[in-house]
Chains A and B, each alone.
Chain A
């Protein structure tokens, strides 16, 4: 299909539209490693000064970046682990097991899956206040897990649906219990789905901003997204874009790396599971 079209006009239009993004990305990287004369765009010297937050505290005595990074990792990793564990079980139940009101639960899953969760933030804020979990990392982890669950269960159910029934039948025929069949035969089949949810919810937790901002605004257990946002919205520092960009680059690096490594597995989330 190369005959009824010329490429270059399309290429040009695409390029023009992509220009803002290209400029932003290029300068995000260039700015953080160089110095410039104010009012110009061409760098004149290489510097690591903008990355000073990696080895010293910032002037206003902000928390060290590594503590914040550790918090972010704990937040993202525990969310991912719990979401995956619960989804792997619930997805199997909804896909394969028979129990009362199964149709109702399936219907609710679709409703929850489509529901815009941000609207609940005010009520969740008040619930955490009443439970005494406000301003703690554990509170945000629980809430993020809950909001991520419908998606996780939905994807897992999709993966289980593609596993042939014959595998299970054979297992049951040979005298294994349903639990053993699930654990020994089915789980290995849906491993791509499991990995996809693990990575996906980790990335989603790493990037999450609204929940930590509202539910955990203190500095004791700050995460990188709120750390970066305070730098950005703080009127004292918001002119130092180089510093902010450097923090941002540091923050986004794991996301980009994970994405590059697991690109195919993440795409699986739209596709479906096993080839068996």
Chain B
């Protein structure tokens, strides 16, 4: 390779590393996470093996034989290091040593047998029956409520407890606390009614907001183009603000405007209308607000792009049309709009993508309410995986929701690549030739 090849790769490498880690990896991982049942309960990193009362119930429901179940519950008494240490603490080193010499490693199935073995020790050191019972219990070994960090440890424990081999896979599966691979997310997604509701909401949201963005953006661009310079600048400045103000502040303003103590309520109370929350009162209120909030921002962007496109139209064309007696309306319709075909296409596709995937403004304003009527797909993914009142965040299911958006995003971006005149970008560097 030439020297400049190395320079090129060196210049590119920081960007490559960051992009690989936080762009490519998330794309792939969204696909992977969608096939897991990861949640707050399972954790992210992996899990351990625990059998408790609720897993026993689950096992019974799954058809575990009662014999095996009782085996799990009482796995017997085992003379091991731990029990001996406890015995030494309770009744002295000598007792423990003698018991260890006689019975180390033995397994008793009944407590009575352990008690007898304790009684048989020379000089019968534990006199009271109650104490002997307690001492015997020190050796009780159940796999219930024990945490096993590895699969091997858990299987060894099952083996010791004498659990029949055919039942073990089921027990292992239910005892595992970490996440597992599954396709259940997709089945769940297809079976839930709310999925279709989210899809419908997204359709409403994108269609209406997009229409508002494009039409109103065009209106702003064309009217400010014809206005005298000072007036045009003033209106452009006002309409530029939604774009540059931080989203949270923008929503603060809208909340103030529509809240039950806010502007609309206060003004209307002067006309005898009782004050109410104009953002969340009914789903129609919520939809109108959500569409206007996003529409204003989108129109702001549309105005910027369309305005610069209109300014690029040769003035001579406009003068010529006026000389020919075209009205202002004809000028807009026959000269300006045809020239704006590409900017309109650009804004439409760009806004469709960003409306499909963004949830920031809805989250801050209605948060999907009232009653889930403005819950769009992207917001549902966010709520499922990252933010809900129940507190059990279902990363896997959320990733399944997000996966659809990621797939749409990848396809749209590839389409974007085709739309571009890629050959133009590929002009060869001239120095290396």
Chain A residues close to B by CB (< 8 Å) = 1, 3-5, 7, 10-11, 13-14, 17-18, 20-25, 27-28, 31, 38-41, 85-87, 89-90, 92-94, 96-100, 102-103, 105-108, 110-127, 129-130, 142-143, 145-147, 149-150, 153, 165, 168-169, 172, 178-179, 203, 206-207, 209-210, 214, 225, 228-229, 232-233, 238-239, 241, 244-245, 248-249, 251-252, 255-256, 259, 270
Contact = CB atoms under 8 A, between A and B. Distances in A.
A31 B259 CA distance: 15
B241 interface: yes
A10 B227 contact: yes
Interface in B1-29: 1-9, 11-12, 14-15, 18-19, 21-23, 25-27, 29
Task: Name, among A153, A209, A245, A270, the residue most crowded by chain B CB atoms within 10 Å (CB to CB).
Answer: A209
Contacts, number: 302
A252 B262 CA distance: 21
B22 A142 contact: yes
Measured as residues with beta carbon below 8 angstroms from the partner, the interface class of chain B is: 35 or more
Given A114-B353, A146-B22, A119 B248 contact: no
A173 to B, nearest CB: 10
Main secondary structure of the interface of B (DSSP, over half): helix
Interface of B: 1-9, 11-12, 14-15, 18-19, 21-23, 25-27, 29-30, 33, 38, 44-45, 216, 220, 223-224, 226-228, 231, 235, 238-239, 241-242, 244-249, 251-257, 259, 261-263, 266-267, 269, 292, 296, 304, 308, 318-319, 322, 326-328, 331, 353-354, 356-360, 364, 367, 378, 381-382, 385-387, 395, 398-399, 402, 405-406, 409-410, 412-414, 416-417, 420, 422, 425-426, 428-432
A240 B134 CA distance: 63
A98 B429 contact: yes
Nearest to B36: A126
B429 A124 contact: no
B21 A146 contact: yes
A120 B27 contact: yes
A99 B21 CA distance: 22
Given A97-B7, A119-B378, A241-B256, A103 B26 contact: no
B15 A241 contact: no
Contact of B19 (A38, A150, A249): A150
A123 B256 contact: no
Contacts of A106: 422, 425-426
A17 B253 CA distance: 16
Given A214-B386, A241-B259, A40 B266 contact: yes
A225 B364 CA distance: 11
